[in-house]
């Protein structure tokens, strides 16, 4: 695209659109854009030596330009939007993976980056802004994609990042407490996500978790709704068996009754997989083919990512809400008769109300809890710990300030048929503290600590260094 919003990426002959944002005003970079070769400036004020077009709202101009110029092209893609508090990443990534397995080229856009089969690049936001989104969708077309599945966040919807797009499928996973620092109330949070279900193509379908208490926000009368769940729905699920290696379940719907065996563990991952089962059925794949594709899947990094060590299990998961933590702990309890240890922290400058709730859930359902830091941002870590332990009626916890030491402690406690859960950061590669991004990945650290445990001499050298 020769219309650009980043002055640093301007090349000779490009048009620069000066957008006003929360942190930056593109008008401040017009001079740099011209120096880099911009031949035309779209702005809200000012006069420049190159062709200048003054508009009332540069964002509205950009959105209309993208729609008028490119929407006919990207409308050829079958676009699948997935929203919900928990499970967006896993649901979207599984569907992306299964479609590619079945020979239908599919792109993925979301928290862990932009993929077409393999990862192409990381993204700044779960749901990119509209300019970047159009660029990615055009790239998907150029790579031969038929489908694109994308995570659609509540902030992305509230900030109009997906405006002008229409979806073939909209999926609702669940709604639980999160982002109330942004939305203020659960109703406003639900209504923000509801907007996705008003963006369906005339032939589009809404896929909704029947078991979620907020489902009525998404069962819009004007849509063709398809539901799934364990307690009811068009696609009714029954759990048959589960262990540390796999899960067996069955699905009954008007078209078929089918048994599934998958390497995914945890009931919440069956919910995540069901979006794929429903959509692939609606896309005319037969149930046996879907079951075969579901048998061996790769979860996205940091989502129920496991290390088996003897008969113990170390699990890294992105769970950073009370509901997600509860679900991970419930799944872990079903997998072991031994002790469960939890390592987790809470993010700074985010919903403070959920901190004590998460601590109570961890302490109630785990045998021992190690509280540590997550991403404090600019908030005082002492305040975060205070919120996490305020009113806590349990004493089966300790605070370990260094996250690596906390992970090491959680692994060191493992004995026989036990599980160590490392929660909250999942796939993330940094700890964000003030203006610093400190390299850190939970799975990498867990593997290092496990290696130290297996070789005590090396561990002593490491700890004394």
Q: Quick check: 332 pLDDT over 60? A: yes
pLDDT digits (tens, 9 = 90+) for 398-445: 999 999 999 999 999 999 999 999 999 999 999 999 999 999 999 999
pLDDT digits (tens, 9 = 90+) for 17-71: 999 887 789 999 999 999 999 999 999 999 999 999 999 999 999 999 999 999 9
| CA–CA gap between residue 167 and residue 92 (Å, rounded) | 14
Per the rule left: phi > 0, alpha: psi between -120 and 50, beta: everything else, 218 is: alpha
pLDDT, mean of residues 107-124: 94
Please count the CA atoms within 13 angstroms of the CA of 263 that sit on its side-chain side.
10
pLDDT at 189 (0 to 100): 87
Q: Quick check: 465 pLDDT over 70? A: no
pLDDT at 395 (0 to 100): 95
pLDDT at 21 (0 to 100): 81
Asked if 328 and 317 count as a contact pair (C-beta separation under 8 A), the reply is yes
Counting residues of the chain whose pLDDT is more than 90, the rounded percentage is: 81
> 3-class SS at 398?
strand
pTM listed for this prediction = 0.85
Pairing of strands 235-242, 247-253: antiparallel
SS (H, E, C) 14-28: CEEECCECCCCEHHH
pLDDT, mean of residues 373-383: 95
pLDDT digits (tens, 9 = 90+) for 159-204: 889 999 999 999 999 998 665 666 678 888 899 999 999 999 999 9
SS (H, E, C) 95-146: HHHHHHHCCCCEEEEECCEEEECEEEECCCCCCCCHHHHHHHHHHHHHCCCC
């Amino acid at each position: 695209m020769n219309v650009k919003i980043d002055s640093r990426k301007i090349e000779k002959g490009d048009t620069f659109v000066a957008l006003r944002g929360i942190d930056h005003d593109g008008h401040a970079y017009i001079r740099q854009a011209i120096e880099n070769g911009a031949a035309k400036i779209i702005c809200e004020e000012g006069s420049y030596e190159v062709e200048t077009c003054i508009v009332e709202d540069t964002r509205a101009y950009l959105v209309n330009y993208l729609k008028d110029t490119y929407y006919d092209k990207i409308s050829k893609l079958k676009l699948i939007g997935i929203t919900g508090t928990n499970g967006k990443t896993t649901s979207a990534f599984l569907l992306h993976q299964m479609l590619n397995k079945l020979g239908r080229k599919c792109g993925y856009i979301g928290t862990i980056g932009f993929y077409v089969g393999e990862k192409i690049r990381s993204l700044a936001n779960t749901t990119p802004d509209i300019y970047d989104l159009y660029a990615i969708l055009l790239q998907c077309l150029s790579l031969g994609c038929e489908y694109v599945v994308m995570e659609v966040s509540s902030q992305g919807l509230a900030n109009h990042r997906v405006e002008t797009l229409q979806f073939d499928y909209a999926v609702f996973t669940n709604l639980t407490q999160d982002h109330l620092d942004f939305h203020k109330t659960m109703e406003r949070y639900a209504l923000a996500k509801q907007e996705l279900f008003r963006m369906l193509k005339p032939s589009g379908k809404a896929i909704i978790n029947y078991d979620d208490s907020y489902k009525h926000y998404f069962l819009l009368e004007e849509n063709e709704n398809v539901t799934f769940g364990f307690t009811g729905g068009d696609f009714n699920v029954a759990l048959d068996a589960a262990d540390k290696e796999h899960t067996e379940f069955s699905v009954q719907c008007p078209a078929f009754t089918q048994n599934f065996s998958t390497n995914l563990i945890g009931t919440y991952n069956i919910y995540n997989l069901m979006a794929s089962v429903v959509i692939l059925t609606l896309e005319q794949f037969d149930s046996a083919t879907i079951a075969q594709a579901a048998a061996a899947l790769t979860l996205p990094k940091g989502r129920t990512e496991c290390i088996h060590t003897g008969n113990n299990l170390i699990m890294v998961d992105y769970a950073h809400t009370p509901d997600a933590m509860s679900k991970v702990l419930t799944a872990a309890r079903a997998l072991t008769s031994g002790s469960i240890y939890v390592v987790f922290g809470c993010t700074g400058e985010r919903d403070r109300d959920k901190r004590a709730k998460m601590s109570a859930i961890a302490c109630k359902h785990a045998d021992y809890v190690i509280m540590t830091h997550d991403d404090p941002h600019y908030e005082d870590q002492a305040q975060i710990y205070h919120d996490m332990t305020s009113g806590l009626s349990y004493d089966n916890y300790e605070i370990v300030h260094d996250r690596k030491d906390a992970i090491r402690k959680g692994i060191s406690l493992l004995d026989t048929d036990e599980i160590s859960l490392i929660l909250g950061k999942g796939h993330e590669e940094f700890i964000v503290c003030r203006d610093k991004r400190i390299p850190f990945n939970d799975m990498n650290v867990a593997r290092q600590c496990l290696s130290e445990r297996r070789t005590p001499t090396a561990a002593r050298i490491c700890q004394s260094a």
